[in-house]
Amino acid sequence: MRLAGPLRIVALIIAVGLTWIVVSILLGGPGSGFPRIQQLFISPDNSATPEPRARKYKCGLPQPCPEEHLAFRMVSGAANVIGPKICLEDRMLMSSVKDNVGRGLNIALVNGVSGELIEARAFDMWAGDVNDLLKFIRPLHEGTLVFVASYDDPATKMNEETRKLFSDLGSKNVKDLAFRDSWVFVGAKGVQNKSPFEQHVKNSKHTNKYEGWPEALEMGGCIPRRTVAG
């Protein structure tokens, strides 16, 4: 009977140890895969919530366009390495992935009422024939939207007629466009004023981002649907 005392002590130690292990597990101690009991009593209002992601709209715009407007986003080429992109209403009209861009001027013609693509082509303004470009933009119908993104060199082959045609479409910078400038522009046949959708950066060795080329340009916004289109 002398062993009764020590056995009780051992049993007490074992009981305390088991109790500690159970409590540690239930409270989510180190190494435990169980949720903490106290989490069951935390109000949802007090729980941490992740920061919401910024919502993106058509073509990646930060805000939606009003009704009867077309969402667009375009990026000029970067040097002679990365091709331009033209997106309209969440549809990529021109890009390197679509394999329909090239050195010079990349132009997408769009029906200004329906927003449907009419035609997209690239025109080499370094070694190409400017007459191909003239034949493309001379016969435009009233209300046709014209999206233009430069890549590498947009201007070497430009002549006075080409510049006038783009000016009539609403460009105010085409008259100054020169070798390896960056240029993005959205105009329309039959506009009365200069387009608000145009950006232009001159090729200058003092400010160029790349060796021999200025920075790429990015522009996006909402274009009112036209009321007249051919």
Tens-place pLDDT, residues 142-162: 999 999 999 999 999 999 999
Count of domains forming the chain: 1
| CB contact at 8 A, 166 and 187 | yes
- Regarding predicted confidence, which is higher, 52 or 61? 61
In-domain check, residue 138: yes
Instruction: Please state the separation of Cα 134 from the chain's center in Å.
Output: 30
Does 90 map to a domain?
Answer: yes
Task: Say what angle helices 130-137 and 160-168 make with each other, to 10 degrees.
Answer: 30
Q: Which pLDDT tens digit goes with each residue over 22-55? A: 556 555 554 444 444 344 334 445 455 566 666 7
Q: Which domain holds residue 199?
A: 58-224
- 52 found inside a domain: no
**Which one-letter amino acid corresponds to residue 52?**
P
- Taking the C-alpha atoms of residue 194 and residue 190, their distance in angstroms, rounded to an integer, is 11
Quick check: helix, strand or coil at residue 191? coil
Q: Is residue 89 part of a domain?
A: yes
Residue 139 lies in a domain: yes
**Alpha carbon separation from 155 to 104, 105, 130 (Å, rounded):** 7, 8, 10
Q: Is residue 122 part of a domain?
A: yes
Q: What is the pTM of this model?
A: 0.75
* Domain membership flag for residue 46: no
Asked, for residue 50, whether it belongs to a domain, the answer is no
